[in-house]
Amino acid sequence: MTEVREKSPLTVVGIGADGWPGLSERAKEALLGADVVVGSPRQLAYLPAGMKSEPWPSPLLPGLDAFLAEREGRVCVLASGDPLLSGIGTTLIQRGYDVEVLPALSSVTLARAKLGWPAEETEVVTVVGRAIGRVNRVLTPGRKILVLGANAEDLLDLLKARGYGKSRVTALSDLGGPDERVGPGTLTVFAIEADGTALPLTGLPDDAFEHDGQLTKRDLRASALARLAPTPGELLWDVGAGAGSVGIEWSRVHPLNRAIAIERSPERAARITRNAHALGVPELDVVIGAAPEALEGLSRPHAIFLGGGLTVPGVLDACLATGARIVAHGVTLESEQLLARAYGEHGGELVRVAVEQAAPLGGFTGWTPARAVTQWSKP
C-alpha cells in the first residue's frame, strides 16, 4: 500500500440527490476552496461548472492511495449522503487518512422519514460490497428493515428461500432529490416489513444447519457459548468446526462479532460456508486445513472452541499459547484424559454433560440418551 498522505486533512463532503442546492454553506465553502474535488462521475455532476474535479480510479481500492498521493493542495472528496454510512469516509479513516467529515442526510434517515419508521425500531443492513446473505441474520416477524446496496431480484429470492416471501418490500429511490420515487432507481433503499418464521440469534435448532452428523448439538452449543462469553467485536476460532454451528452462533450474537472456522475436510468447509450465508453471517472466514498447522498466521482470537482434533498433538498447546478463552469438548477416553490433565494444570471448569430426550418406547415414552460430553473451559 502506498504511504498515506501527511498533508492537510482530506475533507469529505456528503451530498444528496438534491445536489448542490441541498449542501450547507460550510460544505459549499469547502468545495469552492478546494484545489481539486474527487468523487464518482454521478457525484461530480452535481458541482457547478468550472470547478476542478477528477473521478476516482477504477477499480477504486487498489489505486486509491497512489491517486491521492499525486494530488497537491486542498483535496475534497464527495460521498453520497453520510460518508460514514457504508461510504468512502469510512474507507479513508480505516486506511489512516486525516479526515474531516461534513455529512448530508443519509438515505437511511430520508427513508425512515418517508416511511415514518423510528430509528429505535429500524434495523439497517448494508450489502454494499458484501454478501446479500447478511440480511438473513435480521429477519424476524414484524421487523422493520432497511437494506442498502441490494439487487432487487437477489433480495426477493433470499426472502422467498427463507420463508419470508410474504414480506412487504418497498423500493425507495433517489431520496431527497427531484427524481425521488417509489420503485427501483439510481440510489435505492429497500424497506422490508418482515413476515415469516422466527429464528433465534442463538440456540438455533439443529435442523437449521446443513450437516453430516458432525454438529455441536443445541444443548451443548448453548453450554459452550455461555462459557465462550461472546462480546461485540471479538474474534472466535472454531477449530474442527464440522458444520460451523458454534462459529455461526457466535457471529449471530452481534454484527461486529467475527469467527474463523478451521476445518480439514473441503466438503465440510463448503457446507460451513453455505450455513453461514443461510444464517446471516456470510463474513465468517473458513480455513481449510488441519490444526495445529492451519492455525499459524491467523489473527489472534479472543476465544477458541475446540470441537474436533483435540487429541492431535500440538493442537491444545497452540490454542493455550494464544491466551484466549477456551472451551473444549471431548467424547473419548483419550480426549477426557487430556481435558482432565488441562484442568489440573490450568484450572478453569470441568463438567460432564449428558442429555436425554423423550422418545416413543413401545406404547409408552422413554428417555433416549445422547453420548455424554466432557467440557473443559478456561476463562
Cβ atoms of 31 and 76 within 8 Å: the answer is yes
Residue 134 pLDDT > 80, yes or no? yes
Residue 184 pLDDT > 90, yes or no? no
Binned at pLDDT 50, 70 and 90, residue 328 comes out as: very high
Pairing of strands 144-148, 188-193: antiparallel
Q: How many CA atoms lie within 13 A of 340 on its CB side?
A: 9
pLDDT of residue 279: 97
Residue 73 pLDDT > 70, yes or no? yes
Distance CA 3, CA 89 (A): 18
* Per-residue model confidence as pLDDT tens digits over 217-229: 999 999 999 999 9
Q: Mean pLDDT, to the nearest integer, of 122-150?
A: 95
pLDDT of residue 188: 87
> DSSP letter at 371?
P
pLDDT of residue 6: 55
β-partners of residue 170 are 191
Cβ atoms of 40 and 56 within 8 Å: the answer is yes
Cβ atoms of 65 and 95 within 8 Å: the answer is yes
Cβ atoms of 369 and 363 within 8 Å: the answer is no
Binned at pLDDT 50, 70 and 90, residue 95 comes out as: very high
| pTM score of the predicted model | 0.90
* HEC secondary structure over 238-255: EECCCCCHHHHHHHHHCC
* Per-residue model confidence as pLDDT tens digits over 245-254: 999 999 999 9
> DSSP letter at 58?
S
* Residue 80 CB neighbour total at 10 angstroms: 21
Phi first, then psi, for residue 325 (nearest 5°) are -65, 140
Grid coordinates 431480484 are at which residue? Answer: 153
C-alpha cell at 143: 421487523
* Per-residue model confidence as pLDDT tens digits over 47-57: 999 899 999 99
pLDDT of residue 179: 86
Cβ atoms of 226 and 220 within 8 Å: the answer is no
Phi first, then psi, for residue 50 (nearest 5°) are 95, -15
Buried b / exposed e over 20-48, threshold 16 CB at 10 Å, is: eebbeeebeebbeebeebbbeeebbebbe
* Per-residue model confidence as pLDDT tens digits over 253-310: 999 999 999 999 999 999 999 999 999 999 999 999 999 999 999 999 999 999 988 9
